[in-house]
Amino acid sequence: MSVTLRQIREGDLERIMRWRMDEDITRYMNTNPRLTLEKQRVWFESVDRNTDVKYWLIQVDGQPAGVVNLTGLENPEGRLGWAYYMGEKRLRSIGRAISLEMSLYDYAFLRLGKKAVYSDVFTLNRGVIQLHKMCGCEVVEEKKNHICKEGVWYDVTFLRMTAERWAQIRETKKYEKIDFEEMASE
């Protein structure tokens, strides 16, 4: 199955809102949002104007599947943050997750010339932490009781991939290349 990325459009907002409020998604995120289509439109307009972030819709064989984003594009020290989720459960796979992550490193380091990419993951989400490690990330820090969500405190694990490390291990990795280039909104 082929994975492609495209810019998010206004017509995607209702689907993204549904994904973002799905318990399978939110249980690993910092918030459990109560979204409306109007709030989604405000969010979309703000990220569309914000040159420090970039969001893509993940598609599998042309079917909307999830969202991936980068933050810190204007960081003068060359550090990015990233996150993604696959909202369509039937389209999730380890292979797609690995290809997405490693292709993101290609984009960040080889195209954008950034120095490091960071992610933060609820420590209870061991599968995603293991996935990041399989891709070559290192754990930078684990913070106890770092995020309070609806009265419950969560530990958070911070991970990093550096441009130097990616250059050392990239050729040992096998993955389907996914294009992160700027795309027209069609």
Query: What is the per-residue pLDDT across 136-170, written as a single tens digit (0 to 9) for each?
Result: 999 999 999 999 999 999 999 999 999 999 999 99
Q: Look at residue 30 and tell me whether its pLDDT is greater than 60.
A: yes
- pLDDT band of residue 66 (cuts 50, 70, 90) is very high
- Count of Cβ atoms closer than 10 Å to residue 82 Cβ: 21
Q: Look at residue 185 and tell me whether its pLDDT is greater than 90.
A: no
Boundaries of every domain in the chain: 3-172
Looking at residue 181, its pLDDT comes to 74
What CATH homologous superfamily does 3-172 map to? Gcn5-related N-acetyltransferase (GNAT) (3.40.630.30)
Which helix (H) or strand (E) is 134 found in, with range? Answer: helix 126-134
107, 82 Cβ separation under 8 angstroms: no
Chain-centroid distance, C-alpha 118: 10
Looking at residue 175, its pLDDT comes to 96
